[in-house]
Chain A
């Protein structure tokens, strides 16, 4: 009699355990990083386009016309776009990597704005170099976002 009771409870215990595994697995997949977000991809591409067009326009005018005054509006407008990108990324849970990359972009943008303002000129060599730096940082941001799992993965 005792043996039958023991077997019965054993079976109940195993079934409960199996049901628990299913319920836990179905209801909460492991989440280590934020899910992929198409809006974030669109923001990255939009802001990068602004940055790259800015550098192309600078490269296409003679160096003596590259005064800070001629480009200040573009600087502030792009700074605002990058700031929004930082804000949106910081608000997403489990998104420290993308958020930090966006902050790096903002820090570098502000630094180069200040340098341009101080010198009131921009060399071809530095322009080409800085354009590449922003390309690499926006690429890193895009790669990070694209690697993120789609909802349910």
Chain B
């Protein structure tokens, strides 16, 4: 039985890292677009309120929508983060179990 734990752990880290970097990029990209989009909505609403095109009640109602929409978008980010973490952990564990299985195989 030949097990090189240094190699195994390096491979585990590399498998986890591949998944984490892919998921991390998605989170940053989505987060940026969320805040840009909602910022522009608040600016539009404020302009409409000041110009008198929107009543105070309608303004308040739409600001509540913006809050709720930001919450939904942050929840989506949380789902991406959980999925990324899960894929990374499982990829690392797969590397470990396949290394052990290979080492336990009887020599041909």
Contact = CB atoms under 8 A, between A and B. Distances in A.
Contacts of A22: 97, 100-101
B69 A133 contact: yes
Interface in A90-135: 97-98, 100-101, 104-105, 107-108, 111, 115, 123, 125-126, 129-130, 132-133
Contact of A141 (B26, B76, B100, B104): B76
Interface string B32-71: 0000010001001100100001100010011011101101
B100 A30 contact: no
Contacts of A148: 79, 83
Interface in B56-108: 58, 61-62, 64-66, 68-69, 71-73, 75-76, 78-80, 82-87, 89-90, 93-94, 96-97, 100-101, 103-104
A31 interface: yes
Q: Which 4 residue pairs of A and B lie closest in terms of their CB atoms, listed nearest first?
A: A144-B79, A140-B76, A140-B72, A97-B79
B30 interface: yes
A107 B64 CA distance: 11
Contact of A18 (B53, B65, B84, B100): B100
A149 B59 CA distance: 39
Contact of A115 (B61, B87, B104): B61
Interface of A: 15, 18, 21-22, 25-26, 29-33, 97-98, 100-101, 104-105, 107-108, 111, 115, 123, 125-126, 129-130, 132-133, 136-137, 140-141, 143-145, 147-149, 153
Chain B, interface residues (CB within 8 Å), range: 35 or more
A143 B97 contact: no
A105 B90 CA distance: 33
B97 A101 contact: no
Given A21-B100, A115-B61, A104 B71 contact: yes
B79 A98 contact: yes
A147 B86 contact: no
A126 B53 CA distance: 10
A13 to B, nearest CB: 13
B65 A130 contact: yes
B97 A26 contact: yes
Given A33-B86, A144-B79, A25 B97 contact: yes
B75 A140 contact: yes
B101 A101 contact: no
Nearest to B26: A147
